[in-house]
Amino acid sequence: MKITGTTIINILFSLSAICAVELASSSRDIPHVHEEDWHFTSYPYFAKNFHAGEFDRELSEKDLVIGPEGFALVVSKGAKPGTLLISNHSTQKVEYKIEDLNVPPKENERLLYRCMYGKMEPNQKQTIDATHILFRINREHYIPHVPEEKWHLATFIYLPNSFKAGEYRRGYGANGLVMGTEGSALVVSESAEPNTLLISNHSTRKVVYLIQDLNYENRPQDKSKLRWYRCLEGSIEPNEKWTISATGISLHIQNERW
């Protein structure tokens, strides 16, 4: 079969048409929040358990990501001008509150702000008519990730007798590591993201901890030199939880906390 320039052009036009149809179809699959779902309210009170972030379609260089990467609520530019795309990448239903920062407050007896409240199902997406918003989600659905700079290297780990230890490796314990009494304990388990662990404080007390990364290897060939350990230490508040970049750890907590 002889392929001519006209044939190539026709093929390219056909591919463009298919892509356009698929793009339009995918856009139609994402529901749009209509004007009647917005309302004006006096300045909303947001409890401490709400985590906030701001996104501007024109000025924000990156998407707004609230939560660990790949397991978060994301605000980005919508396909249509003047819209934003809200995506729930987590496995939980997330409660959110949005304030439109581009709409000036109405002056009545008191200032009224354009807002939207609601909940998003896991993996749900929706677009809204707004370009600059203050976006808040319930902290109960927000699990922060400990950044790399919080970890440090130590040549020697000294733990007094008041500390007790437990060990956990991702993939080896379905029930996780539970330190303390059931329902009032510090728990280490697998998190949703690969190569990460979830640390949860189910107790009613602040717990002092030290974590050693068992997979970190820095054993010098020269035995006269010290070996380095990757460590994380601090305290975790009651009902607090976060994720760490590690797959095998030794967790040490103060005995007096139990």
Q: Can you give the residue ranges of every domain in the chain?
A: 31-141, 148-257
Q: What is the pLDDT of residue 227?
A: 79
**Structure-token match 């699990």, residue found:** 143
Residues 146 and 247: their CA atoms lie apart, in Å, by: 14
Q: What is the pLDDT of residue 20?
A: 45
Q: What is the pLDDT of residue 47?
A: 57
Burial of 212 (0-12, 13-18, 19+ CB in 10 A): buried
Question: Is there a contact between 121 and 88 (Cβ–Cβ < 8 Å)?
Answer: yes
H helix or E strand, kind and range, residue 95: strand 94-100
Residues 242 and 142: their CA atoms lie apart, in Å, by: 9
Q: What is the pLDDT of residue 144?
A: 80
Q: What is the pLDDT of residue 24?
A: 43
Q: For the chain, how many helices (H) and strands (E)?
A: 1, 19
β partners of residue 165: 252
- Fold topology of 31-141: Immunoglobulin-like (2.60.40)
Residue-by-residue pLDDT tens, the chain, 258 positions: 555 555 555 544 454 544 444 444 444 589 999 888 898 887 665 556 677 889 999 999 999 988 766 667 899 999 999 999 999 987 778 888 899 998 876 766 567 788 998 889 888 999 999 999 999 887 666 678 888 889 999 887 767 676 788 999 998 866 789 987 766 788 999 987 788 999 999 888 888 999 999 998 776 666 667 778 899 999 998 888 889 999 999 999 886 544
From residue 249, give the alpha-carbon distance in Å to each of 90, 114, 178, 210, 226.
25, 47, 13, 10, 21
User: Within 13 Å, how many C-alpha atoms sit on residue 70's CB side?
Assistant: 8
State how beta strands 83-88 and 125-129 pair. Answer: antiparallel
